[in-house]
Chain A
Amino acid sequence: MEAMTSQWTTPVIIAVAVAAIITFGSWYYSSFYQPRKMELAFKKALYALAAAVETRDSGTIGHAKRVADYATDVADELGIDTDKRLEIEYAALLRDIGKVNVPAMLLNKSDPLTPDEWEKVKNHSTLGAEMVHAVPSLSFLGDSILHHHEHWDGTGYPEGLSGEDIPLASRILAVTTDYDAIISDRPYHQSQPKEEAIKQIKSGSGNKYDPSVVDAFLKVLEKCEGRCEIGV
């Protein structure tokens, strides 16, 4: 009897111990390795850096964040996969980071810019692309940032790309940035109502913007109701 008892106790105790180790081990593992949480913290940090650039540029506080929200919504609407979606979000946050290199005076000027000054402001997309290129883990954002001011018909800058040659992320950014700029106050213009902004975006479809992106964006606006009107 005694021998029998110890015969089955041992395996049971070993099994319990193994189970306990696995349970606590995996709990331990997950408490130390939390990629999701780290990624969120990383995104927050990128946003903080983007916001730092925005302080140079009065009237754009929160702009990057809102553009990132719109852009990811559009990406979802277009059914874009997770990796690409992340790229779009990061590109939206860091899109204007090149503005650290543009004199603050020009960014805040309410009078029309001279051609020279305009060149300098336009340079921000190239500068931003160079900057992220220099950071190995962010270099994949270079193209999206470089081309975020290209137009669908090839009249944009810096390279005058047109149509599908423009990276998708840049095409999405072009629409969402402009929308947010129209409904916000800027040194050079007053904020305008949502309807007016939609009208302008629609009229740009096919020449300034990619029509399929515009369609997706309009759908997003219909869905998101209240929160899209905030944009001071």
Chain B
Amino acid sequence: MIRMASSKRSFHLFYRGSIVTAVAMAVVMQWVIPPEAGAWKGALAFAVLAIWSELTPITVPRGLGEVTISVPMHWATMVLFGPVLAMLVAAIPLPAVNITGWICARWLKNHESDTGTGRLHSIIRTLAGAWEERSDYPFLWALEIITANTALDVINVGLAALAYLCVGGHVLDQRYFMAASNCTLFLHAALPFLVGIITYFIVDEARCATAALVNEPQSSRKGSDWYSFVLKLKILLLGSVRLTWSQYLLLPPVTVLLIYLYLHVGILSGLVALGPFLSLRLAVQRAVEREKMYMDTIATLGTYMQHYHPYTRGHLKRVAELSERLARELRLSAETIMLMPYAGLLHDIGKVGVSEEILDKVGKLTDEEWSKIKEHPVKGAEIVAHIDFLNQTVNWIKYHHKWANGAGYPDDGVRNGGVPLEAAIIAVADAFDAMTDDREMSVDWECDTCGFKPENGGRPEICPVCGALKRRVYREPLGIDEAINELRRGAGSQFSPDVVRAFLKMVDREGIRVGGND
């Protein structure tokens, strides 16, 4: 599924081109190989099943995308109804799901006040989810993405069906199926079916890789010559094949079952083929839930471990929220958006190993003390490296004090390009919240050596009871505008210009809240 969008020419070229191709293919096919007269009823049933399957996708964790039964549906229609109807069936589910999603999302917006928890409400919310994923885009843009994705599906099925017919495949209807001998079936259905699947696989992979390539941010596509294009395509292709090949082992038997049952029993039999998908959905759901429980546990515990500093309490949570919003604004992958809050909560976990005398020291730090503080991102990264669930966030945490111009720490020679965008996001969120945080002013002053609390709410630098030196300097928080100006001033030197730009855009549109409870 293609998610990201940019205003680039190649992007529009690719999408609009695929829409035109799909329509042209359908017209030519209708003219050359028209479907049989009565076949549309069966195709309609498949279309209904396809809509259902598209409404309940299985989201596979770790960025493996979504599994629906649309692929075996495509294959079955290719064998049973011929190219034209197969293409039509493939064209139906995506728009249908998005239209229902859009309607449901609007309904939810209009009925925001009644927070129903009923079954109907939850169904509507699920349906609206299909649209909400795209609702950040401008409407026409979303429309183009949906149409283009549909067109790509249609082309995919069309080419596979064409391949099926070209190698001698025969459109299977009940009469032909019953009369044909095993040998005929093998030569005119089974073998061509295999060829069709392989074609489908190749076209699908090529299309995913091309889409990913077109969606690459411009900056990372430095060499635009033909050779590097092919090289990149190859890398993407191999990566994609590694993720999807196992699906292609599971799906053909499902399809064969679907076709057989359809020819023998009729339309309702399609439901039987759903069994394995239901069990797969269950497995994935359980895995995701369990993994989330573990991740939440680790992150919560890690957060509490940093709470000995009252100052960090609300701060960590706000950094987590802000980082997630920025990742969304920058249209990073769903997985990144999912991991961002965890990284935000744990970005300073390395400070657990730095003693508080250094962290809270008022005066100038000695070189040694300063080097201790500078170690905290690396220490944090080392801790997170042991947390398999959060493997990807290691470098985000390691470089969250690295400046866009290469300054900052850790000073390990990594320059601009080596610092992940996610680290730059955390840096901006961290800095903005630190600048605007009024937490330290709102927490009542208390001597942590003897527990003395002044009656008048003062903030002495030396405890009047036990004489301990209070190390933290209290400063007035900056206002939102001032803090934003600071970010703007730092863009390009301290902060990544891309992230600051996204930040400004987001604040312009949605506003921003500072401070708050933990």
Chain A residues at the B interface, C-beta cutoff of 8 Å:
2, 5-6, 9-10, 13-14, 16-18, 20-22, 24-25, 28-35, 38, 41-42, 44-49, 51-53, 55-56, 94, 97, 100-101, 103-105, 131-132, 134-135, 137-138
Please, how many angstroms separate the alpha-carbon atoms of A104 and B349 in the complex? Answer: 16
Residue of A nearest to B450 (CB): A116
Which B residues lie within 8 Å of A104 (CB)? Answer: 355-357
B250 near A55: Cβ-Cβ < 8 Å? no
Interface residue tally of chain B, by bracket?
35 or more
A17 near B308: Cβ-Cβ < 8 Å? no
With A41-B388, A42-B298 known as contacts, the answer to whether A103 contacts B355 (CB < 8 A) is yes
B273 to chain A, nearest CB (A): 8
Q: Is B469 an interface residue when CB atoms closer than 8 A count as contact? A: no
B383 near A52: Cβ-Cβ < 8 Å? yes
B275 near A21: Cβ-Cβ < 8 Å? yes
A2 near B181: Cβ-Cβ < 8 Å? yes
Please, how many angstroms separate the alpha-carbon atoms of A52 and B308 in the complex? Answer: 14
B341-365 interface mask toward A, CB cutoff 8 Å, 1 = contact, 0 = none? Answer: 0000000011011011100000000
A25 near B291: Cβ-Cβ < 8 Å? no
Which A residues lie within 8 Å of B355 (CB)? Answer: 56, 103-105
Please, how many angstroms separate the alpha-carbon atoms of A52 and B61 in the complex? Answer: 28
Which A residues lie within 8 Å of B443 (CB)? Answer: none
B260 near A10: Cβ-Cβ < 8 Å? yes
Residue of A nearest to B286 (CB): A33
A48 near B250: Cβ-Cβ < 8 Å? no
Main secondary structure of the interface of A (DSSP, over half): helix
A135 near B300: Cβ-Cβ < 8 Å? yes
Which A residues lie within 8 Å of B293 (CB)? Answer: 137
With A21-B250, A52-B352 known as contacts, the answer to whether A28 contacts B280 (CB < 8 A) is yes
A187 to chain B, nearest CB (A): 14
- 7 residue pairs of the A-B complex, CB under 8 angstroms, read A17-B254, A29-B283, A32-B283, A44-B388, A48-B385, A51-B386, A138-B301
Pick from B60, B264, B298: contact of A45, CB under 8 Å: B298
Please, how many angstroms separate the alpha-carbon atoms of A38 and B62 in the complex? Answer: 14
Known contacts A10-B260, A32-B280, A131-B301; 17 additional CB pairs below 8 A are A5-B181, A17-B257, A21-B253, A21-B254, A24-B253, A28-B250, A29-B282, A32-B284, A33-B284, A46-B301, A48-B385, A51-B386, A52-B305, A52-B383, A100-B306, A100-B352, A135-B301
Residue of B nearest to A39 (CB): B294
Which A residues lie within 8 Å of B308 (CB)? Answer: 100-101
A12 to chain B, nearest CB (A): 11
Please, how many angstroms separate the alpha-carbon atoms of A21 and B355 in the complex? Answer: 58
Pick from A29, A46, A56: contact of B352, CB under 8 Å: A56
B275 near A134: Cβ-Cβ < 8 Å? no
B457 to chain A, nearest CB (A): 25
A41 near B294: Cβ-Cβ < 8 Å? yes
Which A residues lie within 8 Å of B174 (CB)? Answer: none
A88 to chain B, nearest CB (A): 18
Interface residues in B282-325 (C-beta closer than 8 Å to A): 282-284, 286-287, 290-291, 293-294, 296-298, 300-302, 304-306, 308
Residue of B nearest to A132 (CB): B301
Q: Is B276 an interface residue when CB atoms closer than 8 A count as contact? A: yes
Q: Is B502 an interface residue when CB atoms closer than 8 A count as contact? A: no
Q: Is B170 an interface residue when CB atoms closer than 8 A count as contact? A: no
B258-278 interface mask toward A, CB cutoff 8 Å, 1 = contact, 0 = none? Answer: 001100100000000001100
